[in-house]
Structure 1
Amino acid sequence: MLEPPASLKPCFATPHTAGIRCWRIDLDALAEQCPEHACAGWPASAWLHAEELSRLQGFPMRKRQIEWLGGRLAGKQALRILLADRRPLDTEAAHAWHIRNGEDGRPVFTGKAVHLSISHGRRIAMAAVGEVPVGVDVEGFDAVRARSLDTLLWPAEVWVIRRALGGLPTEARAFLWCLKEALFKALGQHGFARFACALRLRDWHGPDRPVWQAVAPWPAFDDAGQDTGTLAREANGWRALCHQDAGAAHVLVTPALPRPAPPARPPR
């Protein structure tokens, strides 16, 4: 297998036992490696499936090409490391792995029993691959300042983030946005705006446990008639790993480990 671009780096300290790998790539460094000529000749393009390469060539803007390529490279490196840990003798080439959009729009590896989430900001692309559902998002601190987003990012929620993680209000807003985006990607529930409006961040327990409540009135979250209680229970089954770098918030959500049951009382 070709060596990955040098700017690919692991992100978050995910425990190996969790079956999750997350990798990131510096988009500026990737752009330097891929000069402005036909993208089929880019060294990093050798990691792409034929259909992925065709799609890459279809983007009219080079900036979009680099962002899209960065997300695919990060995803394939995460899968590469996960498979190497599970099957050390596996030599399958990354260009044989096809990342496509599933029926719900989320990226998936064709023929691979893993979960995939991809995100990119202005300078970084990230991807998480897991044997369990995952969601990842990255956003610049200056990207969510607009007051028009207040219906998705309530001041009380921002305050919860600031108490839990510290930082400036603009940083907390970016973390809140990433938290909702990553959770939305993991759960895959309809449109993001509807999802973000339906949930409010109420509290934060320990180092990585956001506490959500569903906002009433909300008669049915989906066509099957999911109620607010179901939505809140699903949202509260996740932990969030948060990190900041390069002027951006990074959030990875993974299923929370079940809380240990209290010891049984001896019979009287």
Structure 2
Amino acid sequence: MIEYVNQLGGGAPRTGAAPGAAAAAVWSLDTTLDVVGGHPVGAAAAVLDAAERQRAEALLRPADRQRYLASHLGLRVLLGGYLGLAPQEVVLVREDCPGCGGPHGRPAVAGGGVHFSLSHSGNLAYLAFAGVPVGVDVEEVPGAEAVADVLPLLHPAETAELGALPDPDRRPGLARVWARKEACLKATGAGLANGLADPYVGSAPTPASVPGWTLTDLPAPAGYAAALAVATGRPGAGVS
């Protein structure tokens, strides 16, 4: 079951208990907001940890810094609500990388309690929470140049499917495929280290079946595509 909450705004959200193993909660956020979950974005340094503050300070463009601060502030507000903690009390860690074993895998809450995933594109962020590994992705519809660059890197069947589409449909089609693929790769923690070919997610209106995962397209505003991957079966099931 997916509980899709339309938007996290400026007021304090009502989250309740963390989602169970058979459920996922997804929130969207306008990252241009000045206040997120009752906390001013301009005072986010008081809520974020040292690593998050360092990452924000390294972003040179004010718009990029605003998006990062707003989305991570929203993440902490929602995690705190699910865990019964103040946002600044949530301790974030990195799991081991599934490829090399280094400490740069999926972001996680220290001690567990809830799995989460965060994605942002343009001025929109999506945040997903579940009792099992979860990945969410939102993508702004890319330009024609990005389509030409990415198309050959996908699964051969996806490249063929998108290549067969009329030009006006190819860009939103790629956004749909990219969001589905990124949701799966974020859920496993593999990221883009092994390229974009696998898993095959398809470009049809309904995602392809991905073993070990429930892959679902999410509602998104015009000009965006979004998708969610939630583990099925054993909690650590991966993409094959």
Please give the TM-score of this superposition, normalised by the length of structure 1.
Answer: 0.62
Secondary structure in 2 matching 1:29: coil
Contact 2:136–2:183 (Cα < 8 Å) also in 1? yes
CA distance in 2, matches of 1:105, 1:169: 32
Alignment of 1:60-209 (within 5 A): 60-83=60-83, 90=84, 92-102=85-95, 103-143=103-143, 145-153=146-154, 154-158=158-162, 168-189=169-190, 191-192=191-192, 194-201=194-201
Residues 55, 148 of structure 1: alpha-carbon distance in 2 compared, 3 angstrom cutoff: closer
Residue correspondences, number: 207
Structure 2 residue 234 is matched with structure 1 residue 241: no
- Which residue is equivalent to 1:255? 231
Aligned counterpart for 1:23 among listed residues 5, 20, 27: 27
Query: Which structure carries more helix by proportion?
Result: 1
Q: Whose radius of gyration is greater, 1 or 2?
A: 1
Alignment of 1:32-71 (within 5 A): 42-71=42-71
| Unaligned 5+ runs, structure 1 | 35-39, 84-89, 213-232, 259-268
CA distance in 2, matches of 1:7, 1:182: 28
- Which residue is equivalent to 1:37? none
| Unaligned 5+ runs, structure 2 | 1-7, 96-102, 235-240
Task: Tell me how far 1:130 sits from its aligned partner.
Answer: 1.7
Residues 50, 196 of structure 1: alpha-carbon distance in 2 compared, 3 angstrom cutoff: closer
- Which residue is equivalent to 1:210? 208
Amino acid paired to 1:210: A
Identity of aligned residues (%): 26
Secondary structure in 2 matching 1:245: coil
Contact 1:121–1:138 (Cα < 8 Å) also in 2? yes
Amino acid paired to 1:150: L
CA distance in 1, matches of 2:226, 2:207: 16
Task: Tell me how far 1:209 sits from its aligned partner.
Answer: 5.3
Q: C-alpha offsets along residues 206-237 of structure 1, whole Å, 9 cap, x if unaligned?
A: x965225xxxxxxxxxxxxxxxxxxxx34xx3
Task: Tell me how far 1:47 sits from its aligned partner.
Answer: 3.0
Contact 1:8–1:74 (Cα < 8 Å) also in 2? no
Secondary structure in 1 matching 2:208: strand
CA distance in 2, matches of 1:41, 1:182: 26
Task: Tell me how far 1:179 sits from its aligned partner.
Answer: 0.4
CA distance in 2, matches of 1:41, 1:248: 24
- Which residue is equivalent to 1:222? none
Amino acid paired to 1:48: L
Over the aligned positions, Cα root-mean-square deviation in angstroms equals: 3.7
Task: Tell me how far 1:181 sits from its aligned partner.
Answer: 0.6
